[in-house]
Amino acid sequence: MMMNIKNLLILLVGTVLTGCSDFLDEKSDKKLAVPTTIQDLEALLGYTSDMNLSYCAIIGEVASDNLFLSDDTWLALNRDEDRAMYVWQFLPTLGTYWAGSYNRVLNANVVLENVDDITDMPELKRNQVKGMALFYRALSFFDLLQIFSRSFDSETAANVPGIVLRLSGDIDEELYRNDQQECMFQIEKDLLAAEKLLEGWMPNYPTQPSIASVYALLSKYYLMTKDYDKSLHFASRCLEIRSDLLNYNTIPEGKYPFERYNAEVLFYAQSSGQTMVQESRARVAPELYEMYSASDKRKELFFTINADGYQMFTGDYGKGSSSQKFCGLTTAEVWLTSAECNIRLNKIEEAIEDMHHFIQHRYIVTDHRLETMEKEEFLHFVLDERRKELIFRGVRWFDLKRLTSEELRVDRLVRKIGGNEITISIEQLKEFRFALPQSVIDATGIEQ
């Protein structure tokens, strides 16, 4: 008989999570319940509150140049951790970001450790369950690495602090911080294994990992490592399966115009709640808003003017004003990755085809004369489209860390508070990483 989903999760997670505490905070003598049926495993992976929410990408969005806070808003923040996040100060982050990610990793590890012990499971189903668990683990590690490690550089990665690679459901496992190279290797290993296991798997709902979402994440992974051949390969594989783009010209204007599980969503995920991105607080950076031309439908569909004259972002694919923003994988992001890689690989005609297809789904007027652009100008155009398209999804932080100042056309980020300027150069940003929660340091002895 299938264990009750809620009770199963309480047994599996309750021993390691209490309220907002991190399961890395304390060791426990209690043992995890062992799932014994296919349904038990699917219940763990299908519990959307754990597996699809609480990603920490929002930290990067708060620290990016996509938004700003008024002096009054920043000063009214009641936690030092939040104020520090906005101005790139190395103070311990709240444990909730770390906890949500490792709760998801724990669920994936429990599934991976027990799936082969269920004898009545068809091989196809076993592969799907394994592949989904590996995807969740890889995505969680990838998400954490963007925030808690510096920019990736293959020459220095072995000497750069990464994150904790939890590969077991044993809560008494000795903990240590892996280097960045080990983390990247594990993410790649998990995703390549998931690719084989999920071949041909396209579930009915984007809350479940699919082969298309595996390809999309592999493409993003290799974009980060600057392996543009592989990034393009997996972007193409993804688009062969799912390439739909919403035609923004057919979407009625107004707040929250997008359906939550729309045709572009390859994998649905939302970030942890962060009050700084709520409409009542966050303001879209004016220089970003000015990048949208009058013929760009996103200018109408993404933003709503506030009483103070600044724009607030109301085009979230999560369809609401929540502080939890959509940060999943979409076909639009894959199209833009494909175009960028094609340019970098001197496949200019292919990049033009990618962008013509993308543009006609976003603009009223589509005469952008891409054919007349020099390579550098074309690359800047595509990177600008990435910024405009993927706003408030945490992707800007990903791009700030991987791109050069020349590619970004930005040499520093600036915060203005109380008449004073706080700045961080792009080179300093690449070295910057957010601090681990103090509760984790205190309980485990992991080095900051």
pLDDT band at 33 (very low <50, low <70, confident <90, very high): low
Band of residue 443 on the pLDDT scale cut at 50, 70, 90: confident
Alpha-carbon distance of 99 to 80, in angstroms, equals: 19
Q: What is the mean pLDDT of residues 203-228?
A: 97
Average pLDDT over residues 71-92: 94
Tokens of 187: 């993410």
Long-range (24+ apart) CB contacts under 8 A made by 275-278 are 275/77, 275/82, 275/323, 276/62, 276/67, 276/69, 276/73, 276/77, 276/82, 276/85, 276/86, 277/58, 277/61, 277/62, 277/67, 277/313, 277/323, 277/325, 277/392, 278/321, 278/322, 278/323
Which pLDDT tens digit goes with each residue over 328-350?
999 999 999 999 999 999 999 99
What is the spatial distance between Cα 105 and Cα 163, in angstroms, rounded to a whole number? Answer: 12
**With 60 as the cut, is the pLDDT of residue 97 above it?**
yes
Q: What share of the chain in percent tops pLDDT 70?
A: 93
Residue whose C-alpha is closest to residue 210's, from 238, 235, 181: 238
Which is nearest to 267 in space by CA: 94, 388, 163, 131?
131
**pLDDT band of 69, cuts 50, 70, 90:** very high
pLDDT band of 173, cuts 50, 70, 90: confident
Average pLDDT score over the chain: 91
pLDDT above 60 for 118: yes
Cα separation, 315 vs 304, in Å, equals: 9
pLDDT tens digit sequence for 175-198: 889 999 999 999 999 999 999 999
- Return the ∠ at Cα 253 (arms to 252 and 254), rounded to 5°: 120
pLDDT in tens, 246-303: 999 999 988 899 999 999 999 999 998 888 998 889 999 999 999 999 999 999 999 9
CATH of domain 5-249+328-444: 1.25.40.390
- Mean per-residue pLDDT for 36-63? 93
Of 182, 142, 149, 187, the C-alpha closest to 328 is 142
Do the bridges between strand 283-284 and strand 412-417 make them parallel or antiparallel, or are there none, so unpaired? unpaired
pLDDT score for 32: 53
Q: What percent of the chain has pLDDT over 90?
A: 81
Statement: residue 16 has pLDDT above 50: no
Domain boundaries, the chain: 5-249+328-444
| Spatial distance between the Cα atoms of 318 and 261, rounded to a whole number of angstroms | 8
Amino acid making up residue 12? L
